Amino acid sequence: MISFFVGFLGIICGLIVLVLIVYFFLVYKFNQLGFKGLNLFKIKEEIEQNSNLNPKQVSGMTNLLLPRIMNDFPDFDINHLYLQTEKSIRTILNSVENKDISILEDKDFNLINKKLKLQLEDLINSDILYKYDDIKFHKHALKSYSNSDGVATIEVSSSLEYFYQKEKDGKKLKNDSIKKQVRYITKFVYIVDSSAYEKDINVYGINCPNCGAVIETLKSNKCKYCGSGLNIKIVNLLKCWKLIDCKEN
């Protein structure tokens, strides 16, 4: 009987030793990977913190798409489009942070689609304050390109970072500002044929600067509703790359 208990105790001790060996081996391996200890909750926090330090990967087909775009638009400047992308994203975030939709009344934003505008209005009219600090862009790439039915479309994939904070009733909803690594997809259109504009005025519609009515045709120099003359700059407003959509990806 005694020998049985001695044997059983030996097995238990052996299992304990084995568990300790495995534990310290895992601690050693996790330390090699940069984690401190083997606390699963802390590991989760450290993984999240590390993900907020590393820029998002940007996938695209710039080398493949750029020659096609240059063939259709010889004066196309990819660096200018990337600067336009950065300006657009900064302006949108600024509009949400300042709760001011009028910031988007600039001519560069008169083609943004209704869904995006409604989403921005919801954020602006909510009782939550959003703050975006130290915005920094890392990389851009051309994601897609098409040119058909009188409309050319380009999508740009961008990686960026910023410190993000939400507040409600003067209280922070999170303890500290969070550094976020994000990726945005921005979409630009170029109306090659004015008939494409007239076909989808609900998508591409420009508003009369006098009465606010949608300009139904680019062939007229006057507003159909109030009769005011249209500035030539407004009539030709679509003969350039215009932002139509922007979303976090």
Q: How far is CA 248 from CA 49, 86, 184, in A?
A: 20, 13, 4
Q: What is the pLDDT of residue 47?
A: 46
Q: Are 224 and 146 spatial neighbours (Cβ–Cβ below 8 Å)?
A: no
- Interior angle at CA 34, CA 23 and CA 29, nearest 5: 30
Q: Which residues of the chain have pLDDT under 70?
A: 1-10, 23-24, 26-53, 110, 174-177, 194-207, 209, 216-221, 230-238
Q: What is the pLDDT of residue 141?
A: 96
The set of residues, in sequence order, having a beta carbon less than 8 Å from that of 47 and lying 6+ positions away, is: none
Tokens for 20, please give them: 């300790």
Is the pTM of the predicted complex or chain greater than 0.75? no
Q: What is the pLDDT of residue 41?
A: 47
Report the 10 Å Cβ neighbour count for 237: 20
Task: Please state the length of the chain.
Answer: 249
What residues does each domain of the chain span?
Answer: 2-51, 62-248
**Residue listed under structure tokens 């303890």:** 175
Q: What is the pLDDT of residue 21?
A: 78
Q: What is the pLDDT of residue 72?
A: 93
Distance CA 77, CA 79 (A): 6
Q: What is the pLDDT of residue 43?
A: 46
Q: Are 144 and 155 spatial neighbours (Cβ–Cβ below 8 Å)?
A: yes
The set of residues, in sequence order, having a beta carbon less than 8 Å from that of 134 and lying 6+ positions away, is: 161, 162, 163
Q: Under CATH, to which class is 62-248 assigned?
A: alpha beta
pLDDT tens string 16-41? 777 777 766 766 665 655 555 545 44
Q: Are 103 and 91 spatial neighbours (Cβ–Cβ below 8 Å)?
A: yes
Q: What is the pLDDT of residue 44?
A: 47
Q: Are strands 178-191 and 171-172 parallel, antiparallel or unpaired?
A: unpaired
Q: What is the pLDDT of residue 27?
A: 63
Helical (H) or strand (E) element with 140: strand 128-148
Report the 10 Å Cβ neighbour count for 231: 11
Tokens for 117, please give them: 């505008």
Ramachandran bin of 212, using left for φ above 0, alpha for ψ from -120 to 50, beta for the remaining angles: left
For residues 52-81, one letter each, b for 16 or more C-beta atoms within 10 angstroms of the residue's C-beta and e for the rest, the string is: eeeebebebeeeebeeebeeeeeebebeeb
